[in-house]
Amino acid sequence: MSAYVFALCHRTVDLVAATAASTLRDALGLGEDLIALRRDDLHVLEDCRGEPAAWAAASAAHAAWFNPNTHRHAFFSAAEGAVDAAADFAASGRVVDEEGIDWPRPWLGRILHSDRADLLEARSAASAGGGGAVDAASTAGDLSAWLALPAAGGAFAVSLAAFDAEDPVYTLHGEDWPAPGARVLSLQLWTLALRAADAGQARRMAVEVALTRTRRRGLLIHPQVQAWALAAPITPLSRESR
Amino acid sequence: MSRARIAVLQFPGLNCERETLRELQRSGVDASIVRWNEGPSRIRDFAGFVIPGGFSYQDRVRAGAIAAKSSVLDTVVREVEGGKPILGICNGAQILVEAGLVPGEEPGRVDVCLARNRIEGWSGYHSRWVFVKAHGDGNFFTGDLTEPLPLVVAHAEGRFVSRDREAWERLRRKGRFVLRYCDSEGRDPRGFPDNPNGSPDDVAGMSGLDGQVLAFMPHPERAAHLWQVPEDLPGVWGERRRRAAGDRSALMGDGPGRVLLRAFARLNRGGST
């Protein structure tokens, strides 16, 4: 059995992220400090059989989760137990923490498969037999490559994951999936590229504008229905550090 | 005395403004459509507001979330906090909740969410006739409601929720749950389909501030005439509809939704009730 993270993003402009970005800049005061906002759909698959390519084909055939004409996709290795860890995390109710809570990690590892050839080439050049090991370094590196945020001096990328706090985990039905009965945790990954003095400030800024608490504070995540977590190490976006 | 003027606020993506305007006017209300970009001075002219249903900003991020942050809401919130009434229907209700006007325990604080429907076996969009009845002493909107009203719901996110159970209890004790789903006889629902979205405490409408704010998921403007009520509907309104069959004048008469919309007709210019 394997565990994967199936990541999806728009091929062209994501209108939801674009609208959210302009609202964060203009209505919630981020202004030019928000360099970019990116939204990805992530599906953590556990109890899986089958290769990632078979999963991508089945998903496209089902018209489930994505349309290959409008979305790009990538499969990452995932830590076994990531789905249960997320469910436990959601059930704990620790969702309104001003400092944020790190996702039970490491949970997202190396890229295994994608329709982006550049990612696969970079991965095979970087790993000489590293397999799909899940560790913090690979999370930061391969996720950053997938996100492809613009380089910017004095800026940091902060990724926040949000998912249904009530029923976070569901089971795949239908015989034509590679592994019917696989368990799934679906989440949205909001990544904010923020101009900040340091990683700590970037994190505070991201949490402030992401968590909906008042009409003028927060937009992306609603803590009354969603669990959330800082989903990856905060990474600098300066050209030198990449 | 001149009639109070009511603004039907239109955001990009709302799609019920015309019928809401028409039925307010037929209820004796002097109403106009005001677009989101018309400026604060225009907003201040009105004695009350209605935000109709639809999909503001295409429901991007969450239903109602983007409209709630819009600058026109700054003015609307100030006017409503000053005592003017506002009714949010469906997506309008979602906007009022996202704006913190409902429940409005602290100014602007977002304590509640209109979450995805949760029905045994599936979740998501659902449309059907339901019954609602008023609870509590009655406020600006619910004071005239004496019998179960059949109305239409049509939404995917209509379940009032808060993860803070103590806060939810406080809202219950304070009588915020002013309209609840019921069966055709006004009895408490036994789950779906009486309660069409899994809303806890069967909440269909929640009040805010001092009762002048109502976030309401069913669509009164779709049941403003008796002919809009299905003939096979049980209860008092179904019986009235069957008796009116073939009688054009009776069919064009008041439907159950009119009772709610007419609340605005009681307003005098200046916002007093």
pLDDT of residue B132: 98
Q: Do B110 and A214 touch (CB under 8 A)?
A: yes
Q: How many CB pairs under 8 A join A and B?
A: 67
State pLDDT tens for residues A212-236.
999 999 999 999 999 888 888 788 9
Q: How far is CA B126 from CA B52, B64, B148, B218, in A?
A: 18, 18, 21, 12
Closest chain A CA to residue B65: A219
Per-residue pLDDT band for A97 (boundaries 50, 70, 90) equals very low
Number of domains in chain B: 1
Give the pLDDT confidence of B69-88 residue by residue, as tens digits: 999 999 999 999 999 999 99
* B66/A23 Cβ within 8 A: yes
Q: How far apart are CA A184 and CA B187, in angstroms?
A: 39
The residues of B annotated as belonging to the active site are: 90, 219, 221
CATH of the domain at B150: 3.40.50.880
Answer whether B69 sits within 8 Å of A165, measured CB to CB: no
- Check CB contact under 8 Å for B62 and A215: no
Query: What's the mean pLDDT in A25-49?
Result: 94
Among B99, B162, B164, the residue with its CB nearest the CB of A215 is B99
In b/e form, how buried is each residue of A58-84, taking b as 16+ CB within 10 angstroms?
A: bbbeeeebbeeeebbbbbbbbbeebbe
The verdict on whether omega for the bond into residue A178 sits within 30 degrees of 0, i.e. cis, is no
pLDDT higher than 80, residue B1 = no
Residue given tokens 């001075």 in the structure block: B41
Query: Minimal CA–CA distance to B99: which of A96, A214, A222, A219?
Result: A214
**Cβ pair B163:A214 closer than 8 A:** no
Task: Please tell me what DSSP assigns to residue A178.
Answer: S
Q: Is residue B244 part of a domain?
A: no
Q: Which of A9, A25, A146 is nearest to A76 (CA)?
A: A146
Residue B216 domain flag = yes
pLDDT at A173: 83
Q: What is the mean pLDDT of residues B260-264?
A: 93
Looking at residues A103-107, what average pLDDT do you find?
63
Regarding predicted confidence, which is higher, B116 or A103?
B116
| Residue at B191 is within a domain | no
What residues of B are in contact with residue A213 (Cβ under 8 Å)?
109-110
- Separation of alpha carbons A229 and B33, rounded Å: 42
Average pLDDT over residues A80-106: 64
Within a domain: residue B217?
A: yes
pLDDT on residue A2: 81
Strand residue runs (E) in chain A? 2-10, 34-48, 71-78, 108-114, 155-164, 169-171, 183-195, 226-230, 235-236
Neighbours of B19 (CB within 10 A): 15
Nearest CA in chain A to B161: A224
Question: Read out DSSP for B21-48?
Answer: HHHHHHTT-EEEEEETTS-HHHHHT-SE
Q: Is residue B33 part of a domain?
A: yes
- Domain assignment present for residue B115? The answer is yes
Q: DSSP string covering B117-178, please? A: P-BTTB-S-EEEEEEEEE-SS--TTTTT--S-EEEEEEESEEEEE-S-HHHHHHHHHTT---
- Report whether A225 contacts B163 (CB < 8 A): yes
- The type of residue at A230 is L
Residue listed under structure tokens 């001149």: B2
Distances, alpha carbon A233 to alpha carbons A17, A30, A138, B187, in Å: 21, 22, 11, 53
All residues of chain A having their beta carbon less than 8 Å from the beta carbon of residue B122 are none
pLDDT band with cut points at 50, 70 and 90 for residue A99: very low
Query: How many beta carbons lie within 10 A of that of residue B40, not counting itself?
Result: 13
Q: What angle do CA A191, A16, A115 make, to 5 degrees?
A: 65
Q: Tell me the pLDDT tens digit for each residue of B14-56.
A: 999 999 999 999 999 999 999 999 988 999 999 999 999 999 9
Q: Which of B62, B71, B164 sits opposite A222 (nearest CB)?
A: B62
Please give the share of chain B, as a percent, with pLDDT higher than 90: 89
Name every chain B residue with its beta carbon within 8 A of the beta carbon of A27.
69-71
Instruction: Identify the band that residue A96 occupies on the pLDDT scale cut at 50, 70 and 90.
Output: very low
In whole angstroms, what is the distance from residue A217 CA to residue A227 CA?
A: 17
Question: How far apart, in whole angstroms, are the C-alpha atoms of residue A7 and residue A112?
Answer: 11
How close A212 comes to chain B (CA, Å)? 7
Domain boundaries, chain A: 2-241
Which residues in chain B have their CB less than 8 angstroms from residue A95's CB?
A: 163
Is A93 in CB contact (< 8 Å) with chain B?
A: yes
Q: What is the per-residue pLDDT for A46? A: 87
> Is residue B108 exposed (0-12), middle (13-18) or buried (19+ Cβ within 10 Å)?
middle
CA–CA gap between residue B53 and residue B67 (Å, rounded): 12
Instruction: Return mean pLDDT, chain B.
Output: 94
pLDDT tens, A67-89?
A: 889 999 999 988 878 788 777 77
**Cβ–Cβ contact A20 with B under 8 A:** yes
B65 pLDDT band, cuts 50/70/90, is very high
Task: Look at residue A229 in the predicted model and tell me its pLDDT.
Answer: 85
Residue B112 has pLDDT above 70, yes or no: yes
Q: Which residues of B touch A222 (CB under 8 A)?
A: 62, 65, 110, 113
In a domain, B229, yes or no: no
For A213, the closest of B71, B109, B116 (CB atoms) is B109
Q: Which residues form the domain of B34?
A: 5-186+196-224+257-266
Of B68, B70, B113, the CB nearest to A225: B113
| B163/A224 touch (CB, cutoff 8 Å), yes or no | yes
DSSP string, A147-159: H-PPP-TTEEEEE
A79 vs B210, which has greater pLDDT? B210
Mean pLDDT, rounded, for A104-110? 72
